[in-house]
Amino acid sequence: MKALADPYGELKKKPSLPAGMRRRFRDRVLLMTTAECFARCPHCTRSFILGKTETVDTEKKLQDCIEYVRRHPQVRDVLLSGGDVLTLPDSKVMHLVDAFASMEQIDIVRICTRALVDKPERVTDRLSRALSRSGKVWANVHINTAEEAKRAAAAAAKLVNRGIPVSSQTVLLRGVNDTPAKMLALLKALSAARIRPYYVFQCDPVAGICERFSVPLEKAKKIEKYCAERIGGLSLPRFVADLPLSVRKIPLDLL
């Protein structure tokens, strides 16, 4: 697939959506809560668009997003992303969480963050306790190596001990985790930290990124096979590609 500067069309104005909202899949929406991050990952899909696209940074924009969700009862899952939502103060994080967790139709509010790796002290007992109140919050973290998983373990424990599921979305990166041994070590370290290995993604087709980091499909399949033969299902993520215009994540064996 050809690499593009904005393969998922996030810079395009979509009149059907409120400012700062993204929707690619039927049952979920994503809110760009901020353009700030704890780290500027060189493989980030949004590395070239952060700061160029609107965020949900006013109460009016938040209320517009809430009203949109109300008008679309099939939406049951709200992702608070960006940027990194945990760069915001606790009061703003909880205002966003509570706005959607209080809606009967919403089953899941996802906190999408790198804080567990890059700023683990951000995950305090106070924040973990507040996030647990609704029983609807999940944490989606982005962890690419066993060393990162070990660094995230203490922060993950604060969330898991409060009943907040923690899942990792990993990107398969050339020169970082693209050997069977490195990937297996990562999956074992995630499980040991009670972080569910959720997805391993092929690098997104973003110009200037996939040329540097992408791993050949056949090599990715061999890494998946190696891991599947050595660990149980609880520790085995889905190896997938997130292709523009697709209505689902595509398993590698279908490519």
158 found inside a domain: yes
66 found inside a domain: yes
**The model scores a pTM over 0.85:** yes
134 found inside a domain: yes
Split into its structural domains, the chain has a count of 1
25 found inside a domain: yes
DSSP state of 249: P
**Looking at this protein, which amino acid is placed at residue 65?**
C
How confident is the model at residue 2, as a pLDDT? 67
What CA–CA distance (Å, rounded) separates 130 from 124?
10
Exposure pattern of 10-30 as b/e (b: 16+ CB <10 Å)? beeeeeeebbbbbbbeeebbb
39 within 8 A of 118, measured Cβ to Cβ: yes
191 found inside a domain: yes
What CA–CA distance (Å, rounded) separates 68 from 249?
24
Counting beta carbons within 10 angstroms of the beta carbon of residue 214, is it exposed (0 to 12), middle (13 to 18) or buried (19 or more)?
Answer: buried
13 found inside a domain: no
pLDDT digits (tens), the chain, 255 positions: 666 666 666 777 788 999 999 999 999 999 999 999 998 888 877 766 677 789 999 999 999 999 999 999 999 999 999 999 999 999 999 999 999 999 999 999 999 999 999 999 999 999 999 999 999 999 999 999 999 999 999 999 999 999 999 999 999 999 999 999 999 999 999 999 999 999 999 987 677 777 889 999 999 999 999 999 999 999 999 999 998 878 899 999 999
82 within 8 A of 33, measured Cβ to Cβ: yes
How confident is the model at residue 210, as a pLDDT? 75
What CA–CA distance (Å, rounded) separates 105 from 230?
39
How confident is the model at residue 39, as a pLDDT? 86
- The CATH code of the domain that includes 94 is 3.20.20.70
7 found inside a domain: no
How confident is the model at residue 41, as a pLDDT? 82
240 within 8 A of 197, measured Cβ to Cβ: no
Can you list the positions of beta strands (E) in the chain? 21-25, 28-32, 77-81, 108-113, 137-141, 166-171, 196-201, 238-241, 250-251
Q: Give the domain extent around 98.
A: 21-254
Report CA-CA distances (Å) from 210 to 7, 184, 207. Answer: 12, 23, 6
CA-based angle 154:160:166, to the nearest 5?
Answer: 90
138 within 8 A of 164, measured Cβ to Cβ: yes
3-state secondary structure of 72: coil
Report CA-CA distances (Å) from 55 to 10, 86, 115, 119, 214. Answer: 12, 14, 19, 22, 29
Report CA-CA distances (Å) from 53 to 28, 47, 232, 238. Answer: 20, 12, 41, 30
Closest Cα to residue 171, out of 111, 223, 235, 245? 223
